[in-house]
Amino acid sequence: MKLLTAAQTREADAYTIREEGISSVDLMERAAKAFTGWFENKFPSTQEVLIFCGPGNNGGDGLAVARLLQERGYAVQVYLVGDTFKVSADYKANLEQLPQAVQRHQVQRQKDIPSLPAKACVIDALFGTGLNRPVAGMYAAVIELLNNSGACVTSIDMPSGLYTDSQTPDEGAVVKANYTISFELPKLAFFLPQHEEYVGNWHVVPIGLNQAFVSSVDTKLYFTTQTDVQHLLKPRKKFSHKGLYGHALLFAGGVGKMGAAVLAAKACLRAGVGLLTLHAPAIGYDILQTAVPEAMTLLDKNRKHLSALPTDSEKYSVIGTGPGIGTERVTKTAIGQLLSTAKTPLVIDADAINLVGSSDRLKAQIPKDKVIFTPHPKEFERLVGKSKNNYDRLKDMLEFCSEYRCYMVLKGSHTAIGTPEGKIYFNTTGNAGLATGGTGDVLTGIITALVAQHYTLEEACILGVYLHGLAADMALSDVGEIAMIASDVIDHLPKALLCLSRPIF
């Protein structure tokens, strides 16, 4: 699914209005009905609702919502913030339709700003997606009131003051919403960690924007849905055999960290690899043979650390490395050997990323169009450099992917996948239970297995990240976020794959 900029969303609105022969106020009514439908499923009609409306179309949305909620039995008050003589046409139209039963309050000066009752239910309709300057003055004072009141705030389309697809200036006030209800599609801002305290829990409601326009519009920003990955998943044929699903090599493990190799291996097997070989330090032999009997084991000549690739490394469909390997000098030499001689795709994680990031010489050896890096934010900094904010981090990621012709899985709440062509895919599965040691090793194993099964590197990233998050979501009901461990994710991978499998007739 595509992510549109604020400008593209306005174009979609205009196209829909033109193609369907409706007015802009008709489209606003659709949006208000969609928001109201969500709202009445969340909050009981016994709840008094206070709606703060700015002078633009977001305020018009708020006025339409006020009318619809009043019709559904809610006690509604609206606060008309700003000069009501300088309002949009659709705002004016909805203000004229507002029933007299809805109490109205003018907020034109600082002294008009009300105090709010404890635990008030507030709808923020001050500003939408068209904001292009920091919120200051009286509007900022209203936002500060909402943020400091303890109210439960639901923002219409965007939290007021937050820019949709660029960095919000530090000096501007921004609503800290508990819920944000977006129309038709989510916004780029929703996927960035720096906005968590402003966006809260976000939801999308459809308003019937023209899908032909959405399909045709040019963008390199996407978010992954279940439908997207179901189209990627390849069903197995009746006369399958293990040779059809690849032979993966995991170059993993080190003294005190063999568990990371075990987790990656188990995840790789559960994700469908045909054959798996583990190359590990000799100290890990008994552990691996016992914990992962389905995998073959090769021993490094070094007892405690990885020091060299197997002599026949070119025979493998894919090589995954990083889990548990440490940063010893002999291991760094081995990673250099891997990069310089690779004839098959590589999945590079954890300390392998740290080693590459520590050396310009190793970076120069990254083989083009063969590598997937899977860093968490700190590993990203070591590999790419420190970014000023999340928007710059995305830009830096794409520049790195372009320069080195590689793919990157930047792990987080909405993991971002960057491609050499400049595309970004945001994931929509997963939960805070993944914030525990070993889950990254699990992801490495999953992606390695998918590459072995002849998914493209881009497909393996998208499907692997979605599966990883979906398995964690399925584990949530059994163990919860706090108690979740990496093995729980592996245990729920079969269920996640079953969920995505399409029936074959």
pLDDT value of residue 223? 97
Domain boundaries, the chain: 6-219, 254-500
Q: What is the DSSP string of 100-130?
A: TTSEEEEE-SGGGPPP--TT-EEEEES--TT
pLDDT in tens, 451-494: 999 999 999 999 999 999 999 999 999 999 999 999 999 999 99
| Cβ neighbour number for residue 290 with a 10 Å cutoff | 9
Architecture of the domain made up of 6-219: 3-Layer(aba) Sandwich (3.40)
Cα distance between residue 450 and residue 245, in whole Å: 9
Residue 98 has pLDDT above 90, yes or no: yes
User: What does pLDDT average to over the chain?
Assistant: 96
* Structure confidence by residue, pLDDT tens digits, 387-446: 999 999 999 999 999 999 999 999 999 999 999 999 999 999 999 999 999 999 999 999
CATH of domain 254-500: 3.40.1190.20
Q: Kindly state the average pLDDT of the residues 314-335.
A: 97
Which pLDDT tens digit goes with each residue over 1-14?
A: 999 999 999 999 99
Does position 339 have pLDDT exceeding 60, yes or no?
Answer: yes
Question: 10 Å Cβ neighbour count for 502?
Answer: 9
Range 50-60 average pLDDT: 97
Indicate if the pLDDT at residue 383 is higher than 80: yes
pLDDT at 258 over 80: yes
**Whole-angstrom distance, CA of residue 42 vs CA of residue 26:** 25
Q: How many residues are there in the chain?
A: 505
What 8-state DSSP symbol labels residue 302? S
User: Given this model, what pLDDT does residue 504 score?
Assistant: 46
Is the pLDDT assigned to residue 505 strictly greater than 60?
no
Contacts of 334 (CB under 8 A, 6+ apart): 251, 306, 307, 308, 309
Q: What mean pLDDT is predicted for residues 69-85?
A: 94
Can you tell me the mean pLDDT for 50-77? 97
pLDDT-above-90 percentage for the chain: 96
pLDDT for the residue 85: 84
How far, in Å, are 315, 320, 442, 447 from residue 338 at the CA level?
13, 10, 21, 18
- Say how many C-beta atoms besides its own lie within 10 A of residue 363's C-beta: 16
pLDDT, one tens digit per residue, over 261-285 is: 999 999 999 999 999 999 999 999 9
Give the tens place of pLDDT for each residue, 103-139: 999 999 989 999 998 889 999 999 999 888 999 999 9
Percent of the chain with pLDDT over 70: 99
Mean pLDDT of 246-274: 98
Predicted local confidence at residue 503, as pLDDT: 59
CB 481 within 8 A of CB 433: yes
CB 433 within 8 A of CB 416: no
